[in-house]
Amino acid sequence: MAEFTLKIRRYQPESGESAYWEEFKVDLDGKRSVLDGILQARDRQDGSIGIRCSCRAAICGSCGVRINGKPALACHTHLDEAERVAHGVGWNAPDEGQELPAITVEPMGNFPVLKDLIVDMDAVHWKKVQRVTPWLLPEGPPPEREYIVPPESMIDVTQSMACIQCGACVSDCLSMEVDPLFIGPAALAKAYRFVGDPRDGQHRERLQDLAEDPHGIYDCTHCFNCIEACPKGVAPMSQIMRLRRVSSADYGIKDRNNGYRHEHAFVENIRRNGILHEADLLPDSYGGKFHPRAVPELFSSLPIVTKALQRRKMTPGKALGHPHKAPKEVKRIFEQVEGRGERYELNLYVVGVEEDEEALADNEAALASDEGPDAVGGEEHAAAAGSHLPEERSPNA
């Protein structure tokens, strides 16, 4: 047993007062969860503390909060680890009588707070999940029996299916801080679950809708926060990038938000210069410096360009010329990637680092020999080794 200090952000709307911080000391084993600490404080010190929880096993996603400023599941965070993070890197256990660092617990960001650690999931999260039509829309009459789906197609959507709807990614999304109307990482990851499913018959319509929406797939800023925040490895930003690739490469959807042209201009910029030449990126995204679409955009950027020139962050020569040329290595990479007959998506949720290299080697040796699995210890050993084999990379549906 050890003593831990929880610094909980309180908000009680019925009181009419603004939010405030309150500290509670709890006695628990360090391997118990932050949720256990909150529940002990509520049970023994203040029964008005508000928090959602259900399974207490990192499955339901109800207890999503911010711990020490980062989104996490309260039931999946150990007290000793949270205390270590609260104090900072390199901290050791305190001596007897030394003041303990407080573990801060507050409600998730980008959500309206209802009370204490309870946020309104309906107003932000579930409303946007509904926005992406989270159910299959098959075409034609249903088959006489069940739908037959290729295994590789289901592997492709497994990562997005692992989402427990905890809202941690939404809590840390920088795009939603700037644009609250952004559909958001959780909802867009859910959208890929259906875009990647061959049973759905409206892939183009879904992608057209999400690409044309100014708060859709091209509103993501690639901050990677949602990938770090997700407790289940869903990597929502990766699913958003997949939606973009399918929309652009497979369906050629040219959206009014200019996302399609911007991405292609970015690629061609790197192909030409080897590194990003930002002066060309804006006009190329609108068809070139003298294209009618580019002229108003260039005029609107003049104040920024003027300020950059004044602060010597750019020069007229670099802005108008091409100081860099792509080296042969960059050109070779482009040729190699574009020379592939088929684009492959690596689902890291299923295909990861090999955990048992020895078992894999034994299994491959058995498959290569004429003697079969018995040559390396019998069928049971071969089956165990085979269970560690990564799945094949699967193309997008």
Residue 377's pLDDT is what?
Answer: 40
Q: 303: pLDDT confidence band, cut at 50, 70 and 90?
A: confident
Mean pLDDT value across residues 131-158: 89
C-alpha 18 chain-centroid distance: 32
d(CA 362, CA 378): 11
- pLDDT band at 342, cuts 50/70/90? confident
The pair of structure tokens assigned to 95 is 């001596």
For residue 394, list its beta bridge partners. Answer: 345
Which amino acid, residue 67? Answer: I
- In the prediction, which pLDDT does 347 show? 63
Block residue for tokens 């003049």: 302
* Domains in the chain, CATH or no CATH each: 2-115 (3.10.20.30), 120-250 (1.10.1060.10), 259-345 (no CATH), 357-395 (no CATH)
> Is pLDDT of 147 > 90?
no
Cβ–Cβ < 8 Å for 172, 136: no
What Å distances lie between residue 253 and 29, 187, 285, CA to CA? 55, 20, 15
Token readout for 362 is 């034994």
Which tokens sit at 6? 């929880």
Question: What average pLDDT is seen over the chain?
Answer: 85
Residue among 36, 40, 80, 65 nearest 231 (CA): 65
Q: 272-281: long-range contacts (C-beta < 8 A, 24 or more apart)? A: 272/322, 272/325, 272/326, 273/322, 273/324, 273/325, 273/326, 274/324, 274/325, 274/326, 274/327, 274/330, 275/324, 277/322, 277/323, 277/324, 279/314, 279/318, 279/319, 279/320, 280/322
pTM: 0.80
pLDDT at 376 over 60: no
pLDDT tens digits, one per residue of 324-340 = 788 999 999 999 988 88
d(CA 393, CA 371) in angstroms, rounded, equals 29
Q: Are 288 and 299 in contact (CB under 8 A)?
A: no
User: Residue 92 pLDDT > 80, yes or no?
Assistant: no
Tell me the two tokens of residue 248. 């652009």
Which is nearest to 109 in space by CA: 191, 175, 38?
A: 175
List the beta bridge partners of residue 65. 72
What's the average model confidence in pLDDT over 67-92? 87
- pLDDT score recorded for residue 224: 94
* CA distance linking residue 60 with residue 140, whole number of Å: 35
Distance of CA 359 to the CA centre of its chain: 32
Would the pLDDT of 305 be above 70? yes
Q: Tell me the pLDDT tens digit for each residue of 17-63.
A: 999 999 999 999 999 999 999 999 999 999 999 999 999 999 999 99
Q: Encode 59-85: b = buried (16+ Cβ within 10 Å), e = exposed.
A: ebbbbbbbbbebbbbbbbbebbebbbb
